[in-house]
Structure 1
Amino acid sequence: MENPRTPKPRRLFGALRQHFPRTHALAAGAASFALVLAMFVPTPEVEAKRLPLPVNLSAPEETATDLVARPAEEAVTASDAEADVSEPPVTLDKKDLEVRNGDTLSDLFKRAGVDATEMYKLLSSGEEARGLARLTPGEKLTFHVNSDGSLASLELHRDRLNLEAFTREDSGTFRYASHQRQADSYSAFREAQIDSSLFMAGSEAGLSHDLIMEMAQVFSSDIDFALDIRKGDRFSVMFEEKFLDGEKIGNGPIQAVTFVNQGKTFSAVRYVDSNGDANYYTPDGKSMRKAFIRTPVDIGRISSHFNPRRLHPIFKTRRPHNGTDYAAPTGTPVYSAGDGRVIKAGYSKANGNYVFIKHGERYVTRYLHLHKRKVKRGQRVKQRQVIGTVGATGYATGPHLHYEFLVDGSHRNPATIVRKLPKAKSIPSAEMDRFRTQTQPLLAKLESYEQPALAQRNEPEDSQGVN
């Protein structure tokens, strides 16, 4: 049922026309339309205020919701801007390996988990890289490997001072660089008296095995350390100690040394000549290096002397023993007595493994019953070069070296002949001033170390007084 008080639409518009003229109604309609349009169309001023908002990413009032609600094209633009500022870091896998006895470069690449093709690429990059095939036990390798398994770089630590680095470039080849640190060197002094053996005395004095061997080498032309050493012999030695970052990393060479053998004093000092070659000389410039060393082994004892009428231990007959036998453990290094050329190296039923070396026109040395040979026929060798190791091959009752010395084809006693042979060259007179300038401070320093030690040895033991 209609409400009689509510007017119908047609009657409502008719009533309005009665109260307002047509022109007024048209003006009111236009104004209403303009008002509605203004609500949806922004002005230039409002539009300008909105434009900077997507760029102002760091504004404190912005929230995570604001960033998520932005248009997709604005979000992409912001991400691109961040990418331009900083690329994500490349992650490398680092692997440190130490070279073990018998290791090859291929073994090390396998342990590092790097494919062999990477190794071949590295080896083909230059002569320095091919040197990686010659590794020594104890050296260390550091592999830096990319996430795809390719080799980014390889570092070879020869020791704590020397580093070789191979770094991959964009072209795929490897760039080589070497780095060397300098250690700090200081002089050190040790002295000892021999009671049983040189090695025991040296070890108790704090000398390394290498320094004891070096000292024996310095005097090897004057002292037979297998035959001449006596209880009561003594030595004083000054040498370099090397430090890196406050930590001792090793020893340098002997600088000056004195050895008293059976009451006779031998002194030697290290000198680096004008060509850069280092050798040992007496304080007055005579070379410590003779044409031949006294013994071809550093350790051992004489088990059988040179004897033309010796009773053979196996055949029990009188047969000339044309050399000197040095008993030593299997594997002990055997040195060439002098510079020369290998004229024979092989094996026979009687001699076992053997090496014959010719020195000039008149001299030949022979080394028999070797465990292993280290040289080949025709090879040139230097004095004290390792030519083999002590063994018990051939007619031998135990591990030893049989050593012969021939002069003009005749056997001579190896223990005495070297004393009659010529010495190596001494310092030329033109270089004596340079020699004295370099060596006299070393000898004076050694003497300054020896004086307190000598006074301490000569000081009588404190006697206990009786009150």
Structure 2
Amino acid sequence: MTSTRKAPPLYPKSHILAASGVAAMLSLALLVFPSREVEAKRTYLNLDLDSGSELVVQEKDDLRPAGRLAADNASPFAEIEGAAEQVVTTEEQSPELAEQTTPATDPLQKTISVANGDTLSTLFAKVGLSATTLHAVLNSSKEAKQFSRLKVGQKLEFQLTPDGELESLHSKLSDLESISLAKTDKGFAFKRDLIKPEVRSAYAHGVIKSSLFLSAKRAGLSHGLTMDLANIFGYDIDFAMDIREGDAFELIYEEKVANGKTVGSGEILSARFTNRGKTFTAVRYTDKQGNTSYYSADGTSMRKAFIRTPVDFARISSRFSNGRRHPILNKIRAHKGVDYAAPRGTPIKAAGDGKIALAGRKGGYGNTVVIQHGSRYRTLYAHMQGFAKGIRTGGSVKQGQIIGYIGTTGLSTGPHLHYEFQVNGTHVDPLSQKLPMADPIARNEKQRFLQLSKPLMARMDKERSTLLALNKR
């Protein structure tokens, strides 16, 4: 019996090509996605900070689950990041590097900056502290209530306990002062820390181009020092009308320094002011009895019985005149004083020591203060917005003391001070009146004064010469 062998089936050529392609893809997949048993090479970076050379790439055998690869594929730098993370935690790292990588934020310490509209209550709420805690803090002592007097930008540092209660509170009020509260068994203990600054002398010089304030600011002087400078020379210079472009000033003053930073200024020790070509000098001197005042370099008193202008840096809007047309009454009427225009609320100062003859309403003058200075002199201040604290009829005032504020009460077209000066009951022009002088330095103090005055004047000369030489370079 003859057997007949069946011929192998014939497949189309396209099927054979497709099968080959599938086989190739399976082989490639096995190469790209190894099984769990396959060893993998992991790349490490040697972060040797002391070598000064390039980063060295090392390879280390590592067994890991195949599933890790899918996660690493999310970032092409995942392997390098992970390696660096492991190297940082090894025992061989430098202490400096370990310190840099330690998280600096304490989750129990929270710092809040005071924003506009914030209160201590809202700040406590922001850090999760209750109203009961706030009440306990404010009632712990009289001084603790200072924490409720907040300023925009002020920072409050809260230290909390692990259970979220207040452990301590600290705030820096200035470069020289900070306050804090700490939890105790009896409540909260208040503490104030004050830094005593180093006091040293400094020199400043300026030339006036538009105003004293702008020139002083360019010279590095604070607003307070500028006011002190004007008050020192206020007996001789009318800063409302006498200042001219080209006027110059220089001074030696106390500068307060803490931790290498300028934190404030003290007294003016000596000064020079050149106005319209005439130079005035001033030296601060404390006599043997403890009285302090300013004298010219030769010992003449800078202080006089009256200051020239009762309002700082105001503009003269109307002068003394016997034939001025009144702006409201619209008729010729003598103007027996000087008007100083200034913003509403500007302080008004007493021109000299005296007794208050009137502090109240006076017809068209509105709110008025009248001061009697001895038996010969009397000054009047009208159209005030209001009186300063303690100013009342029958009281006494000192020269330069604030007696009221610029306003528009009475017959007034705008905020200004109407100022009158009388001598023996007769109105005189305060701008042209020769002011009586105060006593010069005592004879038995003169030598001691000159020992202070001469070195200060010499230093200003030297500082100015050095400054001029530098400017010519």
Q: What's the TM-score, normalizing by structure 2?
A: 0.64
Q: How far apart are the structure 1 equivalents of 2:354 and 2:170?
A: 39
Counterpart residue identity of residue 123, structure 2: R
The aligned residue for residue 123 of structure 2 is 111
Which one of 200, 208, 228 corresponds to residue 214 of structure 1? 228
Tell me if 1:252 matches 2:271: no
Task: State the 1:435 CA deviation.
Answer: 2.7
Q: Secondary structure at the match of 1:444?
A: helix
Counterpart residue identity of residue 403, structure 2: I
Q: How does 1:448-459 map to 2 (within 5 A)?
A: 448-452=462-466
Do the aligned partners of residues 364 and 175 (structure 1) sit closer, same or farther apart at CA in structure 2, a change above 3 Å counting?
same
The aligned residue for residue 399 of structure 2 is 383
Q: How far apart are the structure 2 equivalents of 1:204 and 1:260?
A: 18
Q: How far apart are the structure 1 equivalents of 2:401 and 2:165?
A: 42
Task: State the 1:281 CA deviation.
Answer: 1.6
The aligned residue for residue 293 of structure 1 is 307
Task: State the 1:267 CA deviation.
Answer: 0.4
Bigger shift: residues 118-127 or 369-378: 118-127
Counterpart residue identity of residue 325, structure 1: D
Q: Is the 8 A contact 1:97 1:108 kept in 2?
A: no
Give the helix-richer structure, 1 or 2: 1
The aligned residue for residue 194 of structure 2 is 179
Q: How does 1:2-401 map to 2 (within 5 A)?
A: 94-96=110-112, 107-113=119-125, 128=143, 140=154, 142=156, 144=158, 146-147=160-161, 152-153=167-168, 155=170, 157-172=172-187, 174-183=189-198, 185-192=200-207, 194-274=208-288, 278-347=292-361, 350-360=364-374, 362-378=376-392, 380-401=396-417
Q: How far apart are the structure 1 equivalents of 2:164 and 2:320?
A: 65
Provide Cα deviations, 1:17-75, integer angstroms capped at 9, x if missing partner.
Answer: xxxxxxxxxxxxxxxxxxxxxxxxxxxxxxxxxxxxxxxxxxxxxxxxxxxxxxxxxxx
Task: State the 1:312 CA deviation.
Answer: 1.1
Q: How far apart are the structure 1 equivalents of 2:108 and 2:425?
A: 67
Counterpart residue identity of residue 314, structure 1: I
Provide Cα deviations, 1:311-360, integer angstroms capped at 9, x if missing partner.
Answer: 21221222221211012233333222233454544456633443334444
Do the aligned partners of residues 407 and 199 (structure 1) sit closer, same or farther apart at CA in structure 2, a change above 3 Å counting?
same
Q: Secondary structure at the match of 1:316?
A: coil
Provide Cα deviations, 1:6-27, integer angstroms capped at 9, x if missing partner.
Answer: xxxxxxxxxxxxxxxxxxxxxx
Structure 1 runs not aligned, ≥5 long:
1-89, 463-467
Counterpart residue identity of residue 436, structure 2: L
Q: Secondary structure at the match of 2:293?
A: strand
Number of aligned positions between the proteins: 362
The aligned residue for residue 406 of structure 1 is 422
Do the aligned partners of residues 445 and 95 (structure 1) sit closer, same or farther apart at CA in structure 2, a change above 3 Å counting?
same
* Superposed CA RMSD: 3.8
Counterpart residue identity of residue 399, structure 1: P
Q: Secondary structure at the match of 2:227?
A: helix
Tell me if 1:415 matches 2:427: no
Q: How far apart are the structure 2 equivalents of 1:138 and 1:382?
A: 36
Do the aligned partners of residues 328 and 166 (structure 1) sit closer, same or farther apart at CA in structure 2, a change above 3 Å counting?
same
Q: Secondary structure at the match of 1:448?
A: helix
Task: State the 1:294 CA deviation.
Answer: 0.7
Provide Cα deviations, 1:141-180, integer angstroms capped at 9, x if missing partner.
Answer: 6464655787655556442113344545422363544422
Q: Is the 8 A contact 1:220 1:295 kept in 2?
A: yes
Give the strand-richer structure, 1 or 2: 2
Do the aligned partners of residues 91 and 136 (structure 1) sit closer, same or farther apart at CA in structure 2, a change above 3 Å counting?
closer
Counterpart residue identity of residue 310, structure 1: R
Q: How far apart are the structure 2 equivalents of 1:141 and 1:357?
A: 47
Counterpart residue identity of residue 344, structure 2: T
Q: How far apart are the structure 1 equivalents of 2:150 and 2:305?
A: 32
Do the aligned partners of residues 306 and 122 (structure 1) sit closer, same or farther apart at CA in structure 2, a change above 3 Å counting?
farther
Counterpart residue identity of residue 384, structure 1: G
Provide Cα deviations, 1:184-218, integer angstroms capped at 9, x if missing partner.
Answer: 534122131x3443334434444443333221111
Tell me if 1:428 matches 2:423: no
Q: How far apart are the structure 1 equivalents of 2:381 and 2:168?
A: 47
Q: Secondary structure at the match of 1:398?
A: coil
The aligned residue for residue 45 of structure 1 is none
Q: Secondary structure at the match of 2:326?
A: coil
Q: Is the 8 A contact 1:123 1:129 kept in 2?
A: yes
Q: Is the 8 A contact 1:166 1:177 kept in 2?
A: no
Q: What's the TM-score, normalizing by structure 1?
A: 0.64
